[in-house]
A and B are shown apart, each in its own frame.
Chain A
Amino acid sequence: MSLLSVQDLAVARGGIRAVEGVTFAVSQGEALILRGPNGVGKTTLLRTLAGLQPPVAGTIEAEPDAIAYAAHADGLKGALSVAENLRFWARIFGRDKIDASLSAMNLTDLAERPAAHLSAGQKRRLGLARLLVTGRKVWALDEPTVSLDTASVGLFASSLRAHLAQGGAAIIATHIDLGLPEARMLDLSDLRAQPGRAARPAGFNEAFA
């Protein structure tokens, strides 16, 4: 059964269509890797899937509250400790256990440290640990491995594999090789939108489109 299916989707950034005609489906245990040069619309596509912006055309079919989104920014508060940050997100998603997620991302030793004092890679690991506490089935990840070292990329890849083995799915925009030979690829550069087509009605109505 497919967890997320997308039909003939077109997405826009800043009122201009980025990619169009995107069609794919991911089922349990599947990962889809989005490729394409900078600015082609990978982030815009992921934000649309996460429900942060409406699609210009096409349909997205998924169960309600199925998608966990992780962006470039990790949503961390520097004044709170690692454990407090993670516990907050766990409670927002209606859960309370964070120990497993901390150890999966090798953060147990840093649990009491304020997030402001973490390195960029450690912050990223905390951002990824947040995904584990959401308990959602489909991960929409925007360049999850930025500023991670090789060992942490391996850590992330094994968490991802565990997530897929438990019946989850993932859509990942990335430029590096995650070591997931079974993952499918979708190259967005072939789906670049034709120039000249407006995405939404211009002017006042834009806000309500």
Chain B
Amino acid sequence: MIALFARDIRLATRAGGGFGLGLGFFLILCTLVPFGVGPSGATLALIAPGILWVGALLACLLSLDRIFALDHEDGSLDLLATAPIPLEGVVVIKAAAHWITTGLPLVVAAPIFGLLLHLPAIAMPWLVAALLIGTPALSLLGAFGAALTVGLRRGGLLLSLLVLPLYIPTLLFGAEVVRRGMVDAAPLTPLAFLGAITLLSCALVPFAGAAVLRVNLR
């Protein structure tokens, strides 16, 4: 399992691996929004929590179809399914590797992007905390969607349509944490819900993902 994790991280960081793709997308979004909305700090601060979370969500979506599709194309997935590690473990490891390569860089870089959008300094810790707790759910739910569409050619559109509704609770509570953090009004409540969503996907996705992979590999 550690071998699989190490391989996925190594593949992502080598040429053509897509590491930084999500980060670049996030950067583009956060620099373009002020141009579109106008330079008024008050307006930007108002929409910053929503923009930051929508950006994180779309950046995550961008690389989802790579989770299983590449391994399916070159035959690794068939071989992994016949290997002595459980398919549930493969799903968890793949989701974890996806989070390390797309979610974690976003968490680390989020304060800079918050600055671009005039997010008040008082909300910064809440932004980082919300992304840290919420983005694993994005990777896990995305891994389930990727497992569901693995056999399809150009399954990206279907994958986005399937996964987006699952992302909505995370988006709602995630943006709410940052919004409440700005006005210092009990952000812990939505943060607890965010944590609950992540834990729930942690518990369900490995089994659901492995089950749909088995059906798709037939």
Contacts and interface: CB of A to CB of B under 8 A. Distances in A.
Nearest to A134: B83
Nearest to A90: B3
Nearest to A51: B82
Contacts, number: 69
Contact of A79 (B15, B80, B83): B15
23 contacts: A47-B78, A50-B78, A51-B81, A52-B78, A52-B81, A53-B217, A53-B218, A65-B84, A67-B82, A73-B78, A75-B75, A75-B78, A76-B76, A79-B11, A79-B14, A79-B15, A79-B16, A80-B7, A80-B10, A80-B14, A84-B10, A92-B83, A92-B84
A149 to B, nearest CB: 22
A50 B82 CA distance: 7
A52 B14 contact: no
Interface of A: 47, 50-54, 65, 67-69, 71-77, 79-80, 84, 88-89, 91-94, 130, 207
A76 B15 contact: no
A13 B32 CA distance: 50
A89 B79 contact: yes
A207 B11 contact: no
Interface string B3-21: 1100100110011110000
Residue of B2, B7, B15, B82 with most partner-chain A CB within 10 A: B82
Interface string B109-121: 0000000000000
